[in-house]
C-alpha cells in the first residue's frame, strides 16, 4: 500500500517538476532527495553558478529579473502603467487591488523577499565551507546502500568513521526512514504549491475576461506562471536544507542522549562491582575504562563536527533570522491591511507567515536545545573522574585529564559566529523577546 502511494506521489512530482522547469528526472536521480542532495554536494572549482544545471541557472536568472521589476516599481525608478503591470503578472494587482500605498509597500516586500531568498538559496549551495556538513550528508545518503562507503573517501578520518558507525549502531533505520519521509514531504509540498498556483491563476479572472483582451490575459498567465516557478524554486531548495539540518540536529541529540545513558550505566556498574572479587573487579574495571574512553572519543568527534559545521550553519541562521525579521513584518502588515476576502489569498499569506516563524522558532529552539545537551558532557566527565579516580589505572587517569582539560576548561560548544556563541537557551529567549518588541514597534509605525 505504501509503495503504491509513493509511486503515485513520485509520478505526480515528476510531472510537476517539468511544470516548474526543474531539472529533476528519475533517469538521472534515483530519488527526489538525491536530486536536492546533488546541489548540496556540488564540486565546483571557480564559479558555482556555472556548475548548476541549465534549468536551475535559468530559474536563478528569472528570480533576478522579477526582483529587479519589483525593485524598480516599489522605488518609482520606472513608472509602469496598469497594463504593463498586468502583462508582467504583478501579483499585487490581484491581491491588493487599487490601494497605491499598500501596493508600493507590497512591492517593496516582494523585492526584499525575492532578493534575500535568492541570496539564501545561492549561499545554501556553498557547503564547501564545512567538510563536516558535506561528510554527514554523504553518510546519510550512502551508508545504507554501501556499508563500505568510507573507503571511497580518502579524506575521511578514523574518528569520523567511528562516529558514523556508532550512530548506525544505535539508529540503524534512521537514514532509511529519513529518506522516505523527505521524498514524501517534497512530493506533498510540490502538490500543495501546484494547487496554490492554480488558484492564483483564477483569482479575479472573471473580472479580467470582461475588461481585458484575450492576448493580455494569455501573456499575464505566462508571467504569473514565471512568478510561481520562482517561488517554487526558492521554497523547494529552502525545504531541502531545512530538512537536512533538522535531521542532523536530531541525529546529534539522539547520539548525545545515548552516549550519556551508556556512561551512566557504566558508572553504575562500576559502583556495583565494589563487592565483587578482586580478579573479577579488575577485569570488569578495565572493560569499563576502555568503554568509557571510546564513548568520550565519539563525543569528542561530535564536538569537533559541531564546530566545523558552525561555519556553514551560523551563516545560514543569520540569513534565516534576517529573512524572517524582514518578511514577517511585511506579511503581518499585509494581513492587517488587506481588504480582499478571497480565501486563497488569506491561506497563502498565513502559509508564508507560518514558514517564516518555523525558521525563527522551531529551528532556533532545536539548535539551542542541542547546544545545551552538548555542553552537558562536562558533568559526565566530572562524575567519571570522581568515581574512577581511586581504583583506575594511571594511563586512564592521564587520558581523562586530557579529555577534561580540552573539553571542559577551554572549549565553548555551540553554533558560533567568530568568538560569539549564539543560540543557547538564554540567547533563544532574548531572540524571542527582541522579535516581539520589533513586531510591536513595526505595528505602531505602520499600523495606520
- pLDDT, one tens digit per residue, over 251-281 is 988 999 999 999 888 888 877 765 555 555 6
Highest-pLDDT range among 34-48, 104-118, 162-176: 162-176
- 220 pLDDT band, cuts 50/70/90, is very high
Domain ranges of the chain: 2-446
Cα–Cα distance for residue pair 66/226, rounded to 1 Å: 9
User: Per the structure block, which three cell numbers stand in for 117?
Assistant: 531568498
Q: Which of 93-102, 160-169, 231-240 has the lowest mean pLDDT?
A: 93-102
Percent of the chain with pLDDT over 90: 19
Alpha carbons 185 and 189: distance in angstroms, whole number: 6
- State yes or no: pLDDT of 420 exceeds 50: no
Helix 158-170 to helix 278-337 angle (10° resolution) is 80
**Distance from chain centroid for Cα 18:** 25
- Positive or negative torsion for Cα 429, 432, 434, 437: negative
Choose between 333 and 41: higher pLDDT.
Answer: 41
Mean confidence (pLDDT) of the chain: 79
Q: Mean pLDDT lowest for which of 13-17, 44-48, 296-300?
A: 44-48
The pLDDT assigned to 152 comes to 67
Would you say 332 and 444 are in contact if contact means Cβ atoms under 8 Å apart? no
What does the pLDDT read at residue 441? 56
Higher pLDDT, 29 or 320: 29
Instruction: Identify the bridge partners of residue 421 per DSSP, sorted by sequence position.
Output: 416
Q: What pLDDT, on a 0 to 100 scale, did the predictor assign at position 280?
A: 59
pLDDT tier for residue 418 given thresholds of 50, 70 and 90: very low
| pLDDT in the model for residue 183 | 92
The 3-state DSSP class for residue 441 equals helix
Instruction: Quote the pLDDT of residue 283.
Output: 74
pTM: 0.82
Judged against a pLDDT cut of 90, whether residue 63 lies above it is answered with yes
Judge residue 297's burial from the number of C-beta atoms within 10 Å of its C-beta, 0-12 exposed, 13-18 middle, 19 or more buried: middle
pLDDT band, residue 242 (cuts 50/70/90) = confident
DSSP code of residue 414: S
Q: Which residues of 385-396 are buried (b: 16+ CB within 10 A; e: fewer)?
A: bebbeeebeeeb
In 3D space, the residue among 268, 264, 269, 260 whose CA is nearest the CA of residue 298 turns out to be 260
CA separation, residue 30 to residues 18, 183, 214, 296 (Å): 17, 11, 42, 37
Mean predicted confidence (pLDDT) in 26-43: 88
As a whole number of angstroms, the distance between CA 395 and CA 290 comes to: 11
Q: Is 399 exposed, middle or buried (0-12, 13-18, 19+ CB in 10 A)?
A: middle
Amino acid at each position: 500500500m505504501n509503495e503504491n502511494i509513493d509511486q503515485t506521489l513520485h509520478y505526480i512530482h515528476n510531472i510537476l517538476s517539468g511544470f516548474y522547469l526543474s531539472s529533476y528526472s528519475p533517469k538521472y536521480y534515483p530519488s527526489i532527495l538525491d536530486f536536492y542532495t546533488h546541489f548540496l554536494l556540488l564540486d565546483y572549482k571557480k564559479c558555482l553558478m556555472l556548475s548548476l544545471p541549465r534549468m536551475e541557472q535559468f530559474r536563478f536568472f528569472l528570480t533576478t529579473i522579477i526582483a529587479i521589476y519589483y525593485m524598480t516599481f516599489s522605488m518609482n525608478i520606472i513608472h509602469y502603467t496598469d497594463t504593463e503591470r498586468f502583462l508582467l503578472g504583478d501579483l499585487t494587482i490581484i491581491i491588493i487591488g487599487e490601494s497605491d500605498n499598500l501596493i508600493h509597500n507590497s512591492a517593496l516586500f516582494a523585492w526584499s523577499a525575492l532578493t534575500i531568498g535568492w541570496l539564501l538559496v545561492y549561499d545554501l549551495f556553498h557547503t564547501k565551507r564545512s567538510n563536516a556538513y558535506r561528510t554527514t550528508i554523504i553518510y546519510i545518503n550512502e551508508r545504507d546502500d554501501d556499508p563500505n562507503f568510507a573507503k571511497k573517501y580518502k579524506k575521511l578520518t578514523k574518528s569520523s568513521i567511528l562516529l558514523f558507525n556508532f550512530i548506525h549502531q544505535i539508529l540503524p533505520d534512521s537514514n532509511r526512514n529519513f529518506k522516505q519521509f523527505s521524498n514524501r514531504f517534497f512530493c506533498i509540498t510540490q502538490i500543495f504549491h501546484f494547487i496554490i498556483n492554480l488558484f492564483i491563476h483564477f483569482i479575479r479572472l472573471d473580472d479580467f475576461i470582461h475588461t481585458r483582451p484575450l492576448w493580455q490575459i494569455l501573456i499575464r498567465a505566462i508571467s504569473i506562471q514565471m512568478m510561481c516557478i520562482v517561488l517554487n524554486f526558492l521554497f523547494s531548495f529552502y525545504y531541502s536544507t531545512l530538512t537536512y539540518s533538522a535531521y542532523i540536529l536530531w541525529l546529534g541529540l539522539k547520539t548525545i542522549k545515548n552516549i550519556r545513558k551508556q556512561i551512566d550505566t557504566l558508572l553504575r556498574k562500576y559502583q556495583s562491582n565494589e563487592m565483587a572479587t578482586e580478579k573479577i573487579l579488575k577485569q570488569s574495571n578495565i572493560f569499563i575504562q576502555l568503554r568509557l574512553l571510546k564513548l568520550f572519543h565519539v563525543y569528542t568527534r561530535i564536538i569537533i563536527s559541531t564546530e566545523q559545521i558552525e561555519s556553514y550553519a551560523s551563516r545560514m541562521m543569520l540569513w534565516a533570522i534576517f529573512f524572517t525579521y524582514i518578511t514577517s513584518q511585511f506579511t503581518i502588515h499585509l494581513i492587517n491591511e488587506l481588504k480582499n476576502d478571497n480565501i486563497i489569498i488569506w491561506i497563502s499569506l498565513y502559509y508564508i507567515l507560518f514558514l517564516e516563524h518555523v525558521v525563527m522558532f522551531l529551528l532556533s529552539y532545536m539548535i539551542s536545545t542541542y547546544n545545551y545537551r552538548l555542553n552537558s558532557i562536562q558533568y559526565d566527565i566530572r562524575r567519571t573522574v570522581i568515581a574512577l579516580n581511586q581504583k583506575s589505572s594511571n594511563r586512564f587517569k592521564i587520558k581523562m585529564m586530557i579529555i577534561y582539560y580540552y573539553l571542559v576548561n577551554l572549549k565553548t560548544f555551540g553554533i558560533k559566529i567568530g568568538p560569539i556563541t549564539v543560540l543557547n537557551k538564554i540567547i533563544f529567549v532574548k531572540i524571542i523577546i527582541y522579535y516581539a518588541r520589533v513586531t510591536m514597534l513595526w505595528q505602531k509605525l505602520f499600523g495606520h
